[in-house]
Amino acid sequence: MGNWNSFTKRILINASVDSLYRSRATKSEIETWFPEQADYQAGDSGRGPDELVQKGDLFSWKWHNRDFTEKGEVLEANSRDTISFTFGAGGNVSVTLKPADADGLTEVILKQYDIPTDDKSKMDIYVGCSTGRTFWLTNLKAYLEHGITLHAKGLTQKEMNNLVNS
């Protein structure tokens, strides 16, 4: 079988490297397309909504429609084109941004690595996160290119279950 401890996703987005970096590295931007609530802690104080995260910051991301908050640490944040962070039991994630051409396209390269390779992690983390990352990168593209998001913001778990079961 293949390598279960990492995967890489790539997508071209018609947005500047700077706007893509800010979409990942500020509370105000990441909350528009990814978690319901993102909090970043720098030492004893929280980061402001438009303040860039820094290496060593601790974060908590409250997911939409789930009673779960992911907690982790920013491993790298160069304020330009690279950010990486821990992702709980799922290992680590790095995002690198590269200008793709003169037409304003940027390549987003997301790698999740150091994924545990026991059978449960292969399904829950490798398969689950790989599928989820594909959706969230598409959601980011929709947001930056068209001003829309594709996820069900603000629905309760009961409302989500009713949608799925109807």
pLDDT in tens, 25-73: 999 999 999 999 999 999 889 999 999 999 999 999 998 877 889 999 9
Answer yes or no: is pLDDT of 1 > 50.
Answer: no
Whether residue 1 is contained in a domain is answered as no
Residue 69 CA to residue 47 CA, distance in Å, equals: 18
Residue 8 CA to residue 64 CA, distance in Å, equals: 24
Is 85:72 a contact under the CB 8 Å cutoff? yes
What's the domain range around 116? 6-165
Q: Each residue of 82-109: pLDDT tens digit?
A: 999 999 999 999 999 999 977 889 999 9
Question: Which of 165, 149, 145, 148 minimizes the C-alpha distance to 64?
Answer: 149
Tell me which H or E stretch contains 17.
Answer: helix 17-25
Per the structure, the count of domains in the chain is 1
| Phi, psi values for residue 3, rounded to 5° | -80, 115
Question: Which of 65, 76, 57 minimizes the C-alpha distance to 36?
Answer: 65
Whether residue 72 is contained in a domain is answered as yes
CATH number at residue 64: 3.30.530.20
Residue 71 CA to residue 69 CA, distance in Å, equals: 6
Please, which residues have CB within 8 angstroms of residue 22's CB and are 6 or more apart in sequence?
A: 29, 52
The pTM (predicted TM-score) of the whole model is 0.89
